[in-house]
Structure 1
C-alpha cells in the first residue's frame, strides 16, 4: 500500500510518501494511523490530533473509520480550505 502525506503532515513525518504492508488487523484508516504511530515518534506526533486530519483512499475522500479493503493508496492531509 502506498501512503502519501501532504502539508504539515508531510513536514512532521519527514517524507512525502512511503510504501507499507500493514498486518491483517489493520482494517480502517484509523487502524492504519494507530499502527504507524505505534512504531514511529514522527507518525505519533503527526497523527496525535485526529480532528486535524483528513484521508483519501484511492483518491476518494473518506472518513477515518473507512475500510482499507482492497486499497492501493492512502493519502493523509490536513483539512483543505478553498477560496
Structure 2
C-alpha cells in the first residue's frame, strides 16, 4: 500500500466517522474531493472500501458502509492502518 493509498483510506475512515459512522460510496467520493482535496473515481472508492472491509475496519453491503469499532479507533488515531 502506497502512502497515497493510506492517506485516502484514512480519509475515508475520518469521513465515515464525521458522517455518524455510516455512509454511501458516492457520498464518500464527494467528501474525498470537497473536504480532503482528493479527486478519485467512484470505482477507486469502492476498491478502497472493499480493502477496508477485508481488514475489518468497515462493514460493507454493496455501496453502504459502516465503521467497525476497529475502524472507529483507527479514524480517531488510536490505531494504525494495517
- Provide the TM-score with structure 1 as the length reference: 0.40
Determine which structure has more spread, i.e. the larger CA radius of gyration.
1
User: Of the two structures, which has the highest relative contact order with CA contacts closer than 8 Å and spacing of 6 or more?
Assistant: 1
- Provide the TM-score with structure 2 as the length reference: 0.40
- Higher percent of residues as helix: 2
- Higher percent of residues as strand: 1
